[in-house]
A and B are shown apart, each in its own frame.
Chain A
Amino acid sequence: GAGVSQSPSNKVTEKGKDVELRCDPISGHTALYWYRQSLGQGLEFLIYFQGNSAPDKSGLPSDRFSAERTGGSVSTLTIQRTQQEDSAVYLCASSVVGSGNTEAFFGQGTRLTVV
């Protein structure tokens, strides 16, 4: 596609349920990133993929959060046993390469609300 695509655009879930968020990066982009943007907060880095491997998972807030990437393309961010503090906009970005000074292009985000 022309840009980074994320689905769903909105997700409301009950506390304690698991959710999966999907990111389809720009074709040919080998690097993929997940960020979280909470109300009134800046963008918080979660995880970085280069191809299918994740050399930097330092931003994942707890072991309830996990992510995978398959075929060097689509990525899924999974949050288990969701809590209210997980409510935020989850943004995915991709770039041509992970190293070097290349810009990242963002998707529209998934707004997650945990009730």
Chain B
Amino acid sequence: EDQVTQSPEALRLQEGESSSLNCSYTVSGLRGLFWYRQDPGKGPEFLFTLYSAGEEKEKERLKATLTKKESFLHITAPKPEDSATYLCAVQAKGRSGNTGKLIFGQGTTLQVKP
């Protein structure tokens, strides 16, 4: 069964304290791995798509990396405005073709204190 597990569930950082969020996945065939940011009361906001092991993408203080079993979201020198829930999702290759369906992890709630 395709599955996504994120850790930790919650993370508290001081402003400027770099850290990483983990996303472990089990999927029959990976078409893509997605990172989203979700603020309270809002829908998820797209951050990155990674397609193959070894791929990396960066946006401001965020960098996402991918291996064959997991993905990391590295946050460098975070600011309070980076506080949010970060969601990881995989898109699997289906037996009857790809539907684009995303399988989400439970998310990591990040709090950055000034």
Contacts and interface: CB of A to CB of B under 8 A. Distances in A.
Interface residues of A, number: 30
A108 B43 contact: yes
A45 interface: yes
Contact of A42 (B41, B42, B51, B107): B107
B112 interface: no
Interface residues of B, number: 28
Given A4-B43, A41-B106, A42-B106, A101 B32 contact: yes
A101 B31 CA distance: 6
A43 B90 CA distance: 12
Given A33-B101, A42-B107, A56-B99, A108 B51 contact: no
Interface in A55-99: 55-56, 59, 91, 93, 95, 97-99
Question: Which one of A35, A41, A50, A108 has the highest number of Cβ atoms from chain B below 10 Å of its Cβ?
Answer: A35
A78 to B, nearest CB: 20
Nearest to B32: A101
B51 to A, nearest CB: 6
B31 A106 contact: no
B44 A91 contact: yes
B34 interface: yes
Contacts of A4: 43
Nearest to B48: A103
Nearest to A107: B43
Given A35-B102, A56-B101, A106-B45, 6 more contacts: A42-B106, A100-B98, A101-B91, A102-B100, A104-B34, A106-B43
Interface of A: 4, 31, 33, 35, 41-45, 48, 50, 55-56, 59, 91, 93, 95, 97-109
